[in-house]
Amino acid sequence: MKLSDDGFNARHLRPRGSSAWRWRLLAGLAALFAAFGVLLSMAGAATLLGRPPALGPLNDSIGAAITLLLFGLFLLWGGINVWRRCRRRMRRNRGADLSLSPGLLKKRH
C-alpha cells in the first residue's frame, strides 16, 4: 500500500458513532437496581419464612413482607431486562461502525 504525503487519512471517512458512556451508565444503574431487588426480595422472603424482620418495622406484617418480596422481584426483573438491552445496544453500536451486514458478524459453526 502506497503512503501518500497529501495528508489523506482513511479513518476520517468513517462516520463517527455515538459514545457508549450513556449505555454503560444505564447498564450500571440497571445492575444496581437488580442487586437492590435481590436484597429486598431476600428480606421479604426471610420475614415470610419466620426469621426476624431484616428491615425493622418496614416488614413486620405478612402483607408488608409479601409486598416487599414482589417489589424486589419486580426490581430484579426490570434491572436484568434493562441491563440486557443496554449490553445488546452497546454490542450493536460496536459492530455497526465497520459497515458490515449483521449476518456477517454472526459466529460460524
Alpha carbon of residue 73 to chain centroid: 16
Taking residues 84-100, report their average pLDDT: 71
| Residue 73 located in a structural domain | yes
Copy the grid coordinates of residue 92: 450493536
Instruction: Give the residue with greater pLDDT, 82 vs 56.
Output: 82
Q: How far apart are CA 99 and CA 14, in angstroms?
A: 9
Domain count within the chain: 1
Residue 17 one-letter amino acid: G
The residue-averaged pLDDT of 1-7 equals 60
User: Which residue range is the domain that position 30 belongs to?
Assistant: 22-95
Instruction: With cut-offs at 50, 70 and 90, classify the pLDDT of residue 39.
Output: very high
pLDDT at 101: 64
| In the predicted structure, residue 16 carries a pLDDT above the cut 70 | no
Composition of the chain by helix, strand, coil, percent to 5? 70, 0, 30
Q: Phi-psi category of 7—alpha, beta or left, where left has phi over 0 and alpha has psi -120 to 50?
A: left
Q: Would you say residue 37 has pLDDT above 90?
A: yes
Largest CA distance in the chain: 78
Of residues 47 and 78, which shows the higher confidence score?
78
pLDDT at 96: 47
